[in-house]
Amino acid sequence: MVYRAVAAKLGLLPATTVFWALRFYYTLDAIDREIDDVKRDFKHDEVIGQNRASLVAQRFRESLRPALEALERLGVAVSNHAEIDREVALVYPWVKEAGGPLRSALVAAIEK
């Protein structure tokens, strides 16, 4: 996970930025836990029930707002944030398909 790789550097950021970054990473951990639970509870060839699939999807949705807030705060704290935003579109197809930078893709996903 990225957080573990950069944890020692978080103190260099403003407190409000750190809060939202940690909140985002917390939501990523929740997603990871839900997926691990599904993997543990279901065999490879079993169909996952709608409730369990919905819970995983809900966890992903819950990560969108903290991700956007963390990016907004990082935009103030990191000088090359626009370049990073553009680079993300090259790596993640769903961002590229949204037709804009990561922030725009997150806003569109939140509004769905």
- CA-nearest of 20, 35, 28 to 2 is 28
Q: How is residue 69 written in tokens? A: 């807030």
Question: Tell me, what's the pLDDT at 59?
Answer: 93
Gyration radius of the chain over CA positions: 16
Question: Tell me, what's the pLDDT at 3?
Answer: 56
Q: How is residue 52 written in tokens? A: 């369990």
**Integer Cα distance of 65 and 90 in angstroms:** 22
Check residue 46 and report its DSSP letter: S
Residue by residue, pLDDT tens for the chain (112 residues) are 455 666 777 778 888 888 888 898 899 999 999 999 888 888 776 778 888 889 999 999 999 999 899 888 887 777 787 787 778 777 888 888 888 788 888 898 899 8
* Residue 13 near residue 77, CB atoms below 8 Å: yes
**Integer Cα distance of 54 and 8 in angstroms:** 35
